[in-house]
Amino acid sequence: MAKDKKIKEITDMDVDFAQWYTDVCRKAELIEYASVKGFTILRPYGYAIWENIQRIMDAEFKKTGHVNVAMPVLIPESLLKKEGELVNGFAPEVAWVTEGGSEKLEERLAFRPTSETMFCDHWANVLQTYRQLPMLYNQWCSVIRWEKTTRPFLRSREFWWQEGHTIHETAEEAQRETEQQLELYADFCEKILAIPVVKGRKTDKEKFAGAEATYSIEAMMKDRKALQSATSHYFGDKFSRAYNVTYTGRDNTLQYPYQTSWGSTTRLIGAVIMTHGDNNGLVLPPAIAPIQVVVLPIAQHKEGVLEKAQEVVNAIEAAGIRVKGDFSDNSAGWKFSEWEMKGVPLRIELGPRDIENNQCVVARRDNGEKATVGLDELVEKLPELLQSVHDGLYEKALSNLNEHTYSATEVSEVKTIMENGGGFVKTMWCGSEECEVKMKELAGVSSRNIPFDQEHISDTCPVCGGKAEKMVVWGIAY
């Protein structure tokens, strides 16, 4: 990779992956650090990526009947404490408001670390009858969790996300909702972000505080670490009982609804960077790229070049493709490096000779391949070329996942794999938390999930040697 490096300010990923990641975040102008420690500013280019994620994902939510709402950012301490597991799970990360104006508050107010409590409080006031169910809500907002160690997109004290919250008449319906939303996230990662994922259920040790079951999608980054990319939780009626959310059922008796929650965050941008990026910067999947095509006039000082380049930009824009023409007076080499670093999927080069031959050169960001395309057929070919970029990114990421996913029957094997570059390791597991903890102590890995696609690797747990019936995927996670 190093020999292809063009941007000096970006550390080589093979030398220091963590520093490479931070360099890309800042050099590509996705984020900047704020004056409050642990907080970041989402800059216009970074926010434009998030807007595209929002737009596409929100449309998918609406297809299944979900509607958007907005809940308050502050939660009374007494309300937060009503469900014991939730407050205990988030207590170390909660930020508190103790004064309003110049007066001390009678009760502390928590900045929302998550919004189950506010949704339950609302439902307790408005839910009356089974005829109102299901309530399928989602909100786009930021939350605050006072993390000790932060990193852009992956872990910060304030981050942007969507959090879905739903209540249902039956447990079966709520369970279907939980699984449906996990499938939606998996499809989004694979079809929009070009990131393959492992779908499965979290162990009880790793599930969300207060949930009966948590499901996740796990993605492998280029450094072979795992990134939990979205989660979906089934709560049963635990929260409904804690917050006295009731309704009159079909048999005219008071019932407790069954609840779910599910969420994904700006962490997905981090996943895109670490799955597809290279030593020259970002490599963006076309669906979320703020600019899908950049047009670069070559020898633009020559007569007719700028005019033709603008004509090409106008035609592409009219076709609904996000395009930008770089008509600045920077050198062609500088422009190539700049737009590669920004991760634009396709670059169109148009010079005097190209115009003379009624053609242009189209370069792909994912693999650097160039093709000569006639100007008369350019607009028609661009969607196909953009899809090729997506497919190329997905195949690379899938190869990385497949090539660095291993099977093991002994703890020592797991440890050796991690010491030799890491990846995902599949083993059987007896189901005990003691063995789960021991695996982390001995091999340095945590359980990622219990995959839906199960394999029978052996009959015994690699930790205790006892009978094992479930396969678990282990890895080192962000």
CATH number at residue 78: 3.30.930.10
Does 393 reside within a domain? Answer: no
pLDDT category, 3, cuts 50, 70, 90?
A: very low
Does 20 reside within a domain? Answer: no
Same domain, 462 and 327: no
Does 16 reside within a domain? Answer: no
Quote the pLDDT of residue 4.
57
Quote the pLDDT of residue 81.
86
Range of the domain at 348: 293-384
Q: Mean pLDDT, to the nearest integer, of 56-84?
A: 94
Q: Mean pLDDT, to the nearest integer, of 149-167?
A: 96
CA distances from 465 to 408, 416, 455, 462 (A): 13, 19, 18, 6
Same domain, 225 and 79: yes
46 pLDDT more than 50: yes
Residue where one domain finishes, among candidates 351, 384, 417 = 384
Same domain, 113 and 219: yes
Q: How far apart are the first and last CA of the chain?
A: 23
Same domain, 323 and 454: no
Does 391 reside within a domain? Answer: no
17 pLDDT more than 50: yes
Percentage above 90 pLDDT, the chain:
94
Compute the Cα dihedral for 65, 71, 75, 79 and give only its sign: negative
Cα dihedral 385, 386, 392, 394 in deg (nearest 10): -150
Contact predicate 166/137, CB 8 Å:
yes
CATH value at residue 366: 3.40.50.800
pLDDT category, 5, cuts 50, 70, 90?
A: low
Beta-strand ranges (E) seen in 1-134 are 31-33, 40-42, 67-68, 74-76, 96-100, 103-111
Same domain, 37 and 104: yes
Read off the pLDDT of residues 82-131 as tens digits, 9 standing for 90 and up: 877 777 778 889 999 999 999 999 999 999 999 999 999 999 999 999 99
Same domain, 254 and 342: no
7 pLDDT more than 70: no
Does 264 reside within a domain? Answer: yes
Q: Mean pLDDT, to the nearest integer, of 244-250?
A: 98
pLDDT category, 2, cuts 50, 70, 90?
A: very low
**Among 282, 293, 289, CA closest to 382:** 293
Q: Mean pLDDT, to the nearest integer, of 441-452?
A: 98
**Among 141, 83, 74, CA closest to 108:** 74
pLDDT category, 70, cuts 50, 70, 90?
A: very high
Same domain, 307 and 421: no
Does 76 reside within a domain? Answer: yes
pLDDT category, 6, cuts 50, 70, 90?
A: low
Quote the pLDDT of residue 155.
92
Out of 19-28, 37-46, 79-88, pick the least confident: 79-88
- Give the predicted TM-score (pTM) of the model: 0.95
Read off the pLDDT of residues 316-346 as tens digits, 9 standing for 90 and up: 999 999 999 999 999 999 999 999 999 999 9
Does 167 reside within a domain? Answer: yes
Same domain, 210 and 310: no
**pLDDT averaged over every residue in the chain:** 96
Residue 352, number of CB atoms within 10 A of its CB: 16
* CB contact set of 164 (below 8 Å; sequence gap of 6+): 61, 66, 136, 137, 138, 181, 260, 261, 262, 263
**Among 236, 186, 211, CA closest to 114:** 211
CATH value at residue 450: 3.30.110.30
Quote the pLDDT of residue 414.
98
**Structural domain total, the chain:** 3
Same domain, 257 and 329: no
Alpha-carbon distance 355 to 103, whole Å?
Answer: 70
Quote the pLDDT of residue 211.
95
Residue where one domain finishes, among candidates 352, 384, 416 = 384
Same domain, 318 and 460: no
Alpha-carbon distance 271 to 229, whole Å?
Answer: 7
Same domain, 260 and 362: no
Does 2 reside within a domain? Answer: no
Exposure string for 280-314, b = 16+ CB within 10 A, e = fewer: bbbbbbbbbbbbbbbbbbbebeeeebeebbebbbe
Same domain, 90 and 197: yes
Contact predicate 68/58, CB 8 Å:
yes
Quote the pLDDT of residue 91.
81
Residue where one domain finishes, among candidates 338, 354, 384 = 384
